[in-house]
Structure 1
Amino acid sequence: MSDPEHRLPAELEHKIFELAAHAHSKSIPTLLLVARRVKIWLEPILYSMVVFCDLIDGHVCFEPVQFSSVIQSQEISEHVRRLFASHELGPHLDLVLASCSAVQNLALDSSLWPDHLLFLSTMPLRRLSTAIANAFPAITLMDRLEDALWEKWKGLALIPNLTHLAFLMQKSLAIFQGALDACPALQVLVYLYFKGIVYEKIHLQPFAQDTRFACIPAPPFASDWQIGARDGDDFWVRTERFIAQRVSGQIDRGTFVLQEDFMTHFDPSGSLWAG
């Protein structure tokens, strides 16, 4: 039995364990075994960001079957704020999305399906990164996207907390206008373009004076999500800064193209970044 006189003050002990957990999350499962009080302190940190692949160096890679069992506890599932749901989840995806209703930052490395929109509509979702070819049945990869109508995309309005929305391909003006009109919380609408690919700026000109709209180079998906999940300057933050400069007058309000030099590994087959 330990001598109480040799124990650190609870506040200091708590702080030490938190620092250790934030410094190297892979150590958290071991630290949870130290004592019940440590488990209570560190579980919110462990489950605050959940990934199922080796996406983030030093971060715990969760095992789908075990995680699916654990999150059936509401106490645990409510800790999950940032979730990278990779293909490793397989048949567990629906259960994970249904249980983790507190997620604010969600990335799916597989396509979003219509049934998933019901789960998303219950989340306090701020950021969504996914391919949406299957999310809206009327959209197929064979569609002439430049002729696409807002009617095919209006399901986006089912996400009530949608504030940031980005398209990886140039869509019709109707899509952009529909999103700006139908998503009342929308603050940022981005067209992501590929370095070296010519985009038709003239078709985007009608949005030049709408400071919510910006056109920027597409960043690498996984690494940029990692930066954002760790509260770093991902492309959303850079876009927000660019928009703030337009609003304040530091940059001409009619300048909506942000020129930066990025390498990218996006698949240009109809992906969507939204948040």
Structure 2
Amino acid sequence: MRITNRLDLPVELEREIFELAASTDVATALRLAIVARRVQAWVEPIIYSRVVVVNAPEVSAQTQSSRYILRGRTTRAQSSRKAPNQPQIPRFIRTIPLRPASFFARHVKCLQIGNLSEPHLVAVLSACIGISELGWWSNALTPPVAAALCSLNSLYRLSVDLSFQLDFPQLNAAPMFSTLTHFDISLHNHHYHHQPLIPTLKRFPALTHLSVAHGYVVPPVTWCDDVFESCPRLKILLRLSDSLFFEELSGLRQRHADLRVVVMQQPVGDWTARWVHDTWPLAEDIVRERQGLAAAEKAANENANAPKES
């Protein structure tokens, strides 16, 4: 009688095991993709669910769960053979022609792009039209790029710096603005004033979460109230600033009366810090706790002022 170590499992259970392992660690997912064709088909959607395409000289690899870092990088040997000033092509862009047109549109849900050229931006955005989250850092917004952005119609979160021109003419009627619920913007530029942001916010009718990383310019006292007036559905206004945080903590600045305004210290890290260390859950806990305390205090006051039965 022949004894074998092979364990036959139902296909559904086998797939569930591989998908769970791939979701735990990206390095494991990459190894599993070469086990067998069927396993590759199971784990690749997980690998490509989160994609980072950054054209940077030196970027360290990351191993967060369900995160596939695809960044432009050149080895020393390759750089010695490359012509001077020739732009490098990020690996993800080289991968696009190797998959069916619908592959990335169906599987990429979170996309982060930084310091890319116009052709590369158009290529990536045109391939990943099904994303729900977009991070944008140090890219040039041009008419062809804006046209590609207008093809995004299921975006609910947008994180940008000032290279993303909110007043760009071609974006006035962009479909993504109507579905956006979370908007993160970094204003670290002393030439930028907070007040011009107010009219733009009126184009985000579904916005519930707004995060603003302050630069050198202090907004007017009424700025928070103007934001809430422009965004009637807003649940949290998160202000990220070291100076505001320490002033509020030390009592030099009074906390805003609206319980939905949260001031936190700017997260430490590179441009991906807002994604790797997401502050929204913490901000939501703070607002929820405040509202609970306010409701309990209101109920206690009502009970204390209620007429007592004789």
TM-score, normalised to structure 1's length? 0.68
Gaps of 5+ in 2: 54-58, 71-90, 169-186, 298-310
| Secondary structure of 2:258 counterpart | coil
CA-to-partner distance for each residue in 1:6-50, whole Å, 9 max, x for gaps? 632212211221132123323434533444432332222111111
Q: Which residue of 1 aligns with 2:211?
A: 166
* Bigger Rg, structure 1 or 2: 2
Query: How has the CA–CA distance of structure 1 residues 82 and 134 changed in structure 2, closer, same or farther, with 3 Å as cutoff?
Result: closer
Q: CA deviation at 1:164?
A: 1.7
Which residue in 1 is equivalent to 2:291? 247
Higher relative contact order (CA 8 A, sep 6+): 1
Question: Which residue is equivalent to 1:92?
Answer: 120
Matched to 2:155, the amino acid is: L
Q: 1:11: which partner in 2?
A: 12
- Residues 126-159 of structure 1, C-alpha deviations (whole Å, 9 max, x = no match): 33222125514599956462xx534x55234444
Q: Which runs of 5+ in 1 are unaligned?
A: 228-233, 254-275
**1:23-42 equivalences in 2 (<5 Å):** 23-42=24-43
Q: Assess, with a 3 A threshold, how the Cα gap between structure 1 residues 204 and 241 changes in structure 2: closer, same or farther.
A: same
Instruction: Calculate the aligned-residue CA RMSD, in Å.
Output: 4.0
Question: Which residue of structure 1 lines up, in the alignment, with residue 282 of structure 2?
Answer: 238
Residue in 2 that maps onto 1:57: 63
**Matches of 1:140 and 1:246 in 2, distance apart?**
29
* CA distance in 1 between partners of 2:29 and 2:276 (Å): 19
Q: Where do residues 1-275 of structure 1 align in structure 2 (5 Å cutoff)? A: 7-52=8-53, 54=60, 56-57=62-63, 59-62=67-70, 63-69=91-97, 73-87=101-115, 91-110=119-138, 113=141, 119=149, 122-132=152-162, 134-136=164-166, 141=189, 143=191, 145=193, 148-150=194-196, 153-169=198-214, 170-173=218-221, 175-194=223-242, 208-221=256-269, 222-227=272-277, 234-249=278-293
Aligned-residue sequence identity (percent) comes to 26
Count of residues in correspondence between the two structures: 240
Distance 2:12 2:27 in 1: 23
Change (3 A) 1:193 1:43: same
